[in-house]
């Protein structure tokens, strides 16, 4: 794809209204990409705060994620180095137990096309069950915890991660090995990928 075609692709995604009828508000796709990005953050879908601010991970989850990666804000939001591509680009709304899943139309319509262009990526963070289902397919384990626990199996490119949301504080308490064993290795790889 030429640079012009890549810019057109981004424009088309920004103008997308494919699943507008299912969204609680007008579509406002949130993502950050460039063809030189070395790190890819494959997340779920923006929450309401991110929908408002239009800043990916511009909330408490972002603070924790940057800490996990050992990245400052400037690097994290440098599209030339870090791509942020959730499974659904628009806020899907809230259900009884938190935010609804990413709209499935989004990945079907856009994901493959965009990922094909991100050929400089060295490390992909696969955050949450929907991103795991897409990126790992049959290699995903029965549960998110089992998949994250098996992080060594997906090396060197892919990192299964729990969502950094404060909602996951209990998960993090129950699984101290994640901070102790996985995060130091992840930070090392992120640093090496950005050199």
**Interacting residues with ligand SF4 (CB under 6 A):** 13, 16-20, 27, 29, 88-90, 103, 105-106, 109
Burial class (CB within 10 angstroms; exposed 0-12, middle 13-18, buried 19+) of 82: buried
**Which is nearer to ligand SF4, 70 or 101 (by Cβ)?**
101
Looking at the Cβ atoms of 69 and 90, the one nearer to ligand SF4 is 90
Q: How far is the CB of 114 from ligand SF4 (least distance, A)?
A: 11
Q: Which is nearer to ligand SF4, 18 or 100 (CB)?
A: 18
Closest contact distance (angstroms) between CB of 91 and ligand SF4 is: 8
Give the count of beta carbons closer than 10 Å to the beta carbon of residue 17: 11
C-beta closer to ligand SF4: residue 113 or 139? 113
Q: Whole-number minimum distance, CB 139 to ligand SF4, in Å?
A: 25
Measured from the CB of residue 71, what is the shortest distance to ligand SF4 in angstroms?
26
């Amino acid at each position: 794809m030429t640079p012009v075609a890549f810019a057109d692709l981004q424009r088309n995604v920004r103008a997308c209204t494919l699943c507008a009828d299912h969204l609680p508000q007008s579509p406002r796709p949130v993502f950050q990409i460039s063809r030189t990005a070395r790190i890819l953050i494959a997340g779920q879908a923006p929450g309401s705060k991110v929908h408002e601010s239009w800043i990916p991970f511009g909330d408490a989850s972002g603070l924790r994620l940057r800490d996990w990666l050992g990245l400052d804000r400037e690097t994290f939001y440098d599209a030339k180095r870090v791509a942020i591509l959730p499974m659904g680009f628009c806020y899907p709304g809230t259900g009884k137990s938190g935010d609804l899943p990413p709209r499935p139309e989004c990945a079907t319509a856009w994901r493959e096309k965009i990922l094909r262009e991100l050929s400089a990526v060295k490390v992909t963070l696969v955050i949450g069950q929907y991103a795991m289902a897409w990126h790992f397919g049959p290699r995903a384990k029965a549960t998110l915890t089992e998949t994250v626990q098996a992080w060594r199996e997906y090396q060197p490119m892919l990192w299964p991660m729990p969502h950094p949301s404060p909602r996951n504080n209990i998960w993090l308490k129950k699984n101290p090995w994640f901070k102790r064993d996985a995060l130091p290795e992840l930070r090392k790889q992120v640093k090496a990928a950005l050199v």
